[in-house]
Amino acid sequence: MSDAIFNLDAEIRTDLGKGASRRLRREDKVPAILYGSDKEPVSITLAHNKLLQAQEFEAFYSQIITINIGGKKVDALVKDMQRHPFKPKILHVDFLRVDKNVEVTTNVPLHFINETKAKSIKVDGGHAEHHMNDVEITCLPASLPEFIEVDLLNVELGQTVHLSDLTVPKGVVLVELEKGEDHDLAVVTVKAAKGPSAEDLEEAEDAEKASEADSKEDAAKE
């Protein structure tokens, strides 16, 4: 993945309002706003095609984006993106300024690895039930991970992996765990494949025996 993907050129937008935004979109431009770091919000526009290309990468939503505005580079995070309900079109983006010396709070995706290699799944017939696909973290911009791995290789049948079981990079804090032990949320559970219960098996066996007895009785009558 090229670093150029996360370098976006932007222009200051002075013509504001819904009508102006519609005109920009017809010109294949995306209205956006840049805010945060105790500075005034700035309305900007970006090229739609470049933005559409960049947002196809998962890391676009969790990594630092460099926005070039009139020769000045600003580091930012994507905080919100509005899309057209059915067209591949981006309508608006909110960017949050980032200061390298100030911690940021954002969500990063979870990558579940070794799911097909885990004995509990491959041999014992279990399946992984995912309870979350991303986690909220706090860290300095330089420590921001692209994703956090969840290794299922040694997770046993019936076992649940919680937030406290995750291995996070140095300097990264899981926001929920900072709220207390009762916020140690479930991340993924390896559950047994659903099958007939012992009671169901017993009833089926009784029904089979009754059927055999009826068959014998009918044969004797003949």
In a domain, 165, yes or no: yes
Pair (89, 108) in one structural domain = no
One pLDDT digit (tens) per residue for the chain, 222 residues:
445 568 999 999 877 777 777 777 878 889 999 999 889 999 999 999 999 999 999 999 999 999 999 889 999 999 999 998 988 899 999 999 999 999 999 999 999 999 999 999 999 999 999 999 999 999 999 999 999 999 999 999 999 999 999 999 999 999 999 999 899 999 999 999 775 544 554 666 666 665 665 555 555 555
Task: State whether 138 and 83 are in the same domain.
Answer: no
Long-range contacts of 178-186, Cβ-Cβ distance < 8 Å, separation of 24 or more: 178/138, 185/131, 185/132, 186/131, 186/132, 186/160, 186/161, 186/162
CATH number for position 36: 2.40.240.10
Residue 200 lies in a domain: no
> Are residues 78 and 24 both part of a single domain?
yes
Same domain? 87 vs 109: no
Whether residue 199 is contained in a domain is answered as no
**Domain identity same for 108 and 61:** no
Give pLDDT, residue 2: 46
Whether 75 is in a domain gets the answer: yes
Q: Find how far residue 149's CA is from the centre of its chain.
A: 12
Q: What pLDDT score does 26 carry?
A: 78
Q: Are residues 11 and 92 in the same domain?
A: yes
Q: Quick check: is 220 in a domain?
A: no
CATH number of the domain encompassing residue 111: 2.170.120.20
Residue 212 lies in a domain: no
Decide: helix, strand or coil at residue 144. Answer: coil
Q: Is residue 51 part of a domain?
A: yes
* Residue 149 shares a structural domain with residue 67: no
Q: Is residue 127 part of a domain?
A: yes
| Distance in angstroms (rounded) separating the CA atoms of residues 41 and 97 | 10
Structure confidence by residue, pLDDT tens digits, 150-205:
999 999 999 999 999 999 999 999 999 999 989 999 999 999 977 554 455 466 66
Pick from 97, 120, 147: which residue ends a domain?
97
113 and 92 share a domain?
A: no
Do 64 and 109 sit in the same domain of this protein? no
Residues of the domain holding 155: 104-191
Q: Are residues 9 and 86 in the same domain?
A: yes
CA dist 209 to 77, 106, 195, 197, 212, Å?
A: 68, 62, 22, 19, 5
Indicate the number of domains in the chain. Answer: 2
pLDDT at 1: 45
- By CB atoms closer than 10 A (0-12, 13-18, 19+), residue 80 is exposed
Residues 108 and 91 in one domain: no
Tell me, what's the pLDDT at 197? 44
Task: Judge if 108 and 86 occupy the same domain.
Answer: no
